[in-house]
Structure 1
Amino acid sequence: MALSKANRLRHRRDFTAVYQSGVRRNTTHLTLRALRSPLGGATGVGTGKVPTRIGISISLKVSKQAVIRNRIKRRIRAAFRCLLPRLSPGWRLVLVVRPTAVECDYGQILRELEQLLAQAEVLDGD
């Protein structure tokens, strides 16, 4: 199950903006880049706020096998779905996967992702 369309970062210009101007936080297996969205743009369904949009970047350096890269992306999407209600609205996030992430299980990805989001002050209440 994928993230909803409103929560997906889809355009190259959005990824580029996050890479150029966003803050960067690192853990052993993941790197988070986060950028506060401008006030304009599409609004969330019924909320009147710009939803947080998420993109995942995983290169061939992580693994040459698409099966392994896709498994990692599925685990990351599942972790984001779990954390989505706690995210502050109006952020653009890009999660870059490092080659060491091949050895991670879902629990470890969830813990590191939560740590990264807290460091970048994207989680509500943190």
Structure 2
Amino acid sequence: MRPQCFSRRERLVEKRDFEAAFSKGRKKRANPLLHACLLKKPGKTARLGLVVSRKVGNAVIRNRVKRRLREIFRKNKEKILSGTDVVLIAKPGIHNCAFGELEKIFLFEILKDHV
């Protein structure tokens, strides 16, 4: 497997994984635009789950936000502790943020204690 890809093993896809992150994970409000739940599971790879509601915008905007957040995770996954499940919750207005600003929020506000 290529180290720079975003494989299926690195995605949160099942409802029970999201529920576990929401109920047992550490919640962080990094910004009015982006919130996160972090749950540590030893021995596994870091995984990402995204929640982008219709309040964020139409399908084009929601998909763009998801692509940006996935790319930020993919570029910085070696900085995240292995076994961490990260659920990012996008809030309305996030589509106005530049890519660099989102990356800064992700690295310095959400992951500052978890890298």
Same fold (TM over 0.5): yes
The 4+ residue runs of structure 1 with deviation greater than 4 A are: none
TM-score calculated relative to the size of structure 2: 0.89
User: CA separation in 1, counterparts of 2:28 and 2:17?
Assistant: 18
Find 2:40's aligned residue among 32, 36, 40.
36
Matching of residue 117 in structure 1 with residue 111 in structure 2: yes
The answer to whether the 8 Å contact 1:2/1:77 transfers is no
Q: Would you say how many aligned residue pairs link Structure 1 and Structure 2?
A: 110
TM-superposed CA distance for 1:94, in Å, is 0.3
Aligned to 2:97: 104
Q: Which amino acid aligns with 2:49?
A: G
Find 1:3's aligned residue among 3, 6, 9.
6
More strand by share: 2
Stretches of structure 1 lacking an aligned partner (at least 5 in a row): 40-48
Find 2:75's aligned residue among 77, 82, 93.
82
What's the RMSD between the two structures over aligned residues? 1.5
Choose 1 or 2 for highest CA Rg.
1
Stretches of structure 2 lacking an aligned partner (at least 5 in a row): none
TM-score calculated relative to the size of structure 1: 0.82
Q: Which amino acid aligns with 1:117?
A: L
Alignment of 1:11-30 (within 5 A): 11-26=14-29, 27-30=31-34
